[in-house]
Amino acid sequence: GDSILSIQVVSRAKTRGVQITPKQIFQHQTIAELARVANTTTVLVNARQGLVTGVAPLTPIQHWFFAQNHTASHHYNQSVLLQIPKDLSKEFIATAWEKLLLHHDALRLRFPESAKEQQLFNHSLEQTIPFAVVDLSTTVIEEQPQALEKIASEYQASLNLSTGPINASGNVLTWVVKVMPGY
């Protein structure tokens, strides 16, 4: 039992960049003693880092989500309102938005209703995902919260799990994202 447990500890430590051996665990029985003999390493993750597109099976939590048969599953999302510096150009923000979509494959997911078995599809960047700059500077300050609420509601209403997009962005920065369990 202890040998298997020590192998598991060694394996878990290695994934976090700590190099120890089962022998060291038995020789150095306290965390303090083990810390003195442990080495640190660079953790290399062997994962595909390029643009991922195509069909994939649902995760267990996604199966659960769709099994709930929500009448308005598109409305299970989260909005984030971020204050951005005035000196950032819309071009800079648009470029950052594109880079984010390129890096995070889950932001391009679709869940087609036509699939025989529920599956997800990761689109390429060729399909545009909404990004807009909305200038509220001419709106009376007291009316800006209502105007912002209206804009955010419009973005939220534009989300569609099957056809996309599952996220949208505007320049305040309001970012509405479909929160899909498991991602």
pLDDT tens, position by position, 158-175 = 777 777 665 555 444 444
- Alpha-carbon gap, residue 159 to 181, rounded angstroms: 16
Per-residue pLDDT, 30: 92
Per-residue pLDDT, 123: 62
Q: Which of the two residues, 109 and 165, has the higher pLDDT score?
A: 109
> What amino acid occupies position 59?
T
- Alpha-carbon gap, residue 89 to 102, rounded angstroms: 20
pTM of the model: 0.56
Domain 60-178: give its CATH code: 3.30.559.10
Res 27 pLDDT > 90: yes
The ranges assigned to domains in the chain are 2-40, 60-178
